[in-house]
């Protein structure tokens, strides 16, 4: 039987969940991503937080969290409500509250390792998205798989000093060469570049073919980073494909999008209305 999480570990997991929720909220509200599951992510964070304070017996804090949860859920925009910072940028007040509650609990568990940062590799890969498309660092967004590979590896090397570029998996008939290997966490990473919806099937076939070859006693975790130039398929559908193809849960897919979904502006909408009105006014022949 697995050992239960310590409170410190539970708070660390909660912190990762809040970061994921914040990212999903940003994609849904600021970038207009229709596939964002931010509301679900935020509600999950509340459940995790309530479980922790209940375990600790912090009844008054639990009442405050439950009240915040009920008020948010029953509000007009629910978990997707947006507030504005002084500079006009939108932010989630609900996520800010979650972080405030979490910070209050952490005061009960002081640590001497305040400068030590620990993150799961999947969390690092998800956060790398903001660096990949930052034009203050790179002249352009990634144009091909090699760009994605080099940029991500450059960041991972700062965290995982034993990272290997294109390690070889020796097999009796054919050798396999994944893009990145991190021996210390027994993880292999493969990068895929998706530039159009028509290539989704091809990339899916490539991933499924790779899963047959990437089997080794030296590696027990496999991550595929699919970089999309635009939104083509949500991450959950890619992972559903793996599960339906009977690929073990030790293999996962992370989707990074290079460009946000385009919002329909009021100007465009008015243009369409004007065009439709003009069409209706034309006499029939």
Give the max Cα distance, the chain: 83
pLDDT confidence band for 276 (50 / 70 / 90): very low
Q: Enumerate residues 6+ apart whose C-beta is below 8 A from 151.
A: 128, 131, 132, 138, 142
In this predicted structure, what is the pLDDT of residue 99?
Answer: 92
Helix (H, G, I), strand (E, B) or coil at 178: coil
Closest CA relative to residue 17, chosen from 117, 91, 126: 126
In this predicted structure, what is the pLDDT of residue 6?
Answer: 81
| 192 or 280, higher pLDDT | 192
Residue pair 234/204 in contact (Cβ under 8 Å)? The answer is no
The C-alpha atoms of residue 57 and residue 31 are separated, in whole angstroms, by: 39
What are the pLDDT digits (tens) for 49-72? 999 999 999 999 999 999 999 999
The C-alpha atoms of residue 76 and residue 85 are separated, in whole angstroms, by: 20
Task: Give percent of the chain with pLDDT exceeding 90.
Answer: 41
Q: Give buried/exposed letters for 141-157 (b at 16+ CB in 10 A, else e).
A: ebeebebbbebbbeebe
What are the pLDDT digits (tens) for 189-201? 999 999 999 999 9
In this predicted structure, what is the pLDDT of residue 259?
Answer: 61
Residue pair 83/93 in contact (Cβ under 8 Å)? The answer is yes
In this predicted structure, what is the pLDDT of residue 112?
Answer: 53
What are the pLDDT digits (tens) for 5-51? 688 888 888 988 998 888 888 888 877 777 778 899 999 999 999 99
Is pLDDT of 85 > 60? yes
Is pLDDT of 74 > 90? yes
Helix (H, G, I), strand (E, B) or coil at 173: coil
What are the pLDDT digits (tens) for 171-219? 655 567 889 999 988 999 999 999 999 999 999 999 998 887 777 778 8
What are the pLDDT digits (tens) for 95-129? 999 999 998 888 777 655 555 556 688 888 888 87
State how beta strands 180-182 and 164-165 pair. Answer: antiparallel
Strand partners of residue 219:
216
In this predicted structure, what is the pLDDT of residue 1?
Answer: 40
In this predicted structure, what is the pLDDT of residue 278?
Answer: 45
Structural domains in the chain, CATH included, are: 7-106 (no CATH), 121-257 (3.40.1350)
Mean pLDDT of the chain: 81
Residue pair 199/210 in contact (Cβ under 8 Å)? The answer is no
The C-alpha atoms of residue 97 and residue 257 are separated, in whole angstroms, by: 28
For residue 285, give Cα distances in angstroms to 275, 280, 282.
19, 13, 9
The C-alpha atoms of residue 70 and residue 83 are separated, in whole angstroms, by: 18
Is pLDDT of 83 > 90? no
Residue pair 247/217 in contact (Cβ under 8 Å)? The answer is no
CA-based R_g, the chain, Å: 23
Closest CA relative to residue 96, chosen from 1, 19, 202: 19
CA 150 to mean position of chain CA atoms: 20
pLDDT confidence band for 170 (50 / 70 / 90): low
Predicted TM-score (pTM) of the model is 0.59
Is pLDDT of 271 > 90? no
Could you count the other beta carbons within 10 Å of the beta carbon of residue 44?
Answer: 16
């Amino acid at each position: 039987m697995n050992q239960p999480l310590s409170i410190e570990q539970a708070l660390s997991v909660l912190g990762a969940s809040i970061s994921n929720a914040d990212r999903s909220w940003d994609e849904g509200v600021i970038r207009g991503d229709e596939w964002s599951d931010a509301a679900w992510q935020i509600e999950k964070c509340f459940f995790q937080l309530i479980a922790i304070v209940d375990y600790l017996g912090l009844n008054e804090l639990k009442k405050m969290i439950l009240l915040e949860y009920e008020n948010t859920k029953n509000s007009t925009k629910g978990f997707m409500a947006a507030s504005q910072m002084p500079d006009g940028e939108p932010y989630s007040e609900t996520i800010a509250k979650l972080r405030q509650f979490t910070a209050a609990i952490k005061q009960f568990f002081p640590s001497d390792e305040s400068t030590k940062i620990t993150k799961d590799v999947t969390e690092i890969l998800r956060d790398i998205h903001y660096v990949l498309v930052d034009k203050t660092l790179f002249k352009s967004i990634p144009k091909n798989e090699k760009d994605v590979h080099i940029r991500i590896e450059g960041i991972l090397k700062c965290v995982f000093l034993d990272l290997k570029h294109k390690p070889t998996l020796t097999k009796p008939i054919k050798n396999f060469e994944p893009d990145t290997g991190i021996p210390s966490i027994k993880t292999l990473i493969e990068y895929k570049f998706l530039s159009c919806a028509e290539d989704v099937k091809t990339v899916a076939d490539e991933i499924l073919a790779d899963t047959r070859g990437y089997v080794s006693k030296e590696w027990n975790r496999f991550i595929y980073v699919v970089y999309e130039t635009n939104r083509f398929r949500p991450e959950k559908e890619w992972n559903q494909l793996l599960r339906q193809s009977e690929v073990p849960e030790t293999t996962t897919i992370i989707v990074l999008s290079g460009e946000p979904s385009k919002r329909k502006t009021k100007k465009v909408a008015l243009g369409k209305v004007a065009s439709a009105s003009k069409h209706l006014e034309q006499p029939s022949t």
